[in-house]
């Protein structure tokens, strides 16, 4: 994954995660939440984007199981989660077998670390 720009919105997102906060942008012009971090609102094209902490509550929109060769580790889940704030994130659900993750499942975000970087994962709610 490419490294974020030093002062770009993706760097700000990562800094919030490092502080243990799940924050995304919200447009001051149209009041819609925005994810993935951007310079302009994708809905109204305004640049008035502010960082707001979100609930972390969401619902699994889509899911699949990634299977690897046995020497590369166990299978894991990859999913799309719709946050209650109206944005969609790609992540994984932890805490249960990958094949037990189902569409419509309620989940809660948790910040963890992978390869020394903060990462948002989800647990069953």
CATH number at residue 104: 2.40.50
Residues 47 and 61 in one domain: no
Residues 42 and 74 in one domain: no
Kindly report the pTM of this predicted structure: 0.86
**Domain span at 42:** 1-53
Tally the domains of the chain: 2
Report the 10 Å Cβ neighbour count for 31.
10
| Long-range CB pairs of 98-106, under 8 A, 24+ apart, other chains included | 98/65, 98/66, 99/65, 99/75, 101/60, 101/63, 101/77, 102/60, 102/63, 103/60, 103/61, 103/62, 103/63, 104/59, 104/60, 105/59, 105/60, 106/57, 106/58, 106/59
Tens digits of residue pLDDT in 53-67: 999 999 999 999 999
Tens digits of residue pLDDT in 16-37: 999 999 999 999 999 999 999 9
Among 14, 36, 53, residue at a domain's last position:
53
């Amino acid at each position: 994954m490419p490294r974020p720009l030093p002062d770009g919105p993706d760097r700000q997102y990562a800094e919030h995660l490092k502080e243990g906060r799940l924050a995304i942008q919200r447009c001051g012009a149209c009041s819609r939440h925005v994810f993935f971090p951007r310079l302009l609102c994708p809905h109204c094209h305004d640049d008035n984007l502010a960082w707001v902490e979100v609930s972390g509550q969401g619902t699994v929109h889509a899911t699949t199981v990634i299977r690897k060769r046995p020497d590369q580790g166990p299978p894991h889940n990859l999913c799309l989660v719709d946050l209650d704030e109206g944005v969609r994130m790609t992540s994984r659900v932890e805490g249960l077998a990958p094949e037990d993750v189902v569409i419509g499942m309620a989940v809660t975000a948790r910040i963890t670390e992978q390869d020394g970087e903060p990462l948002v994962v989800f647990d069953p709610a």
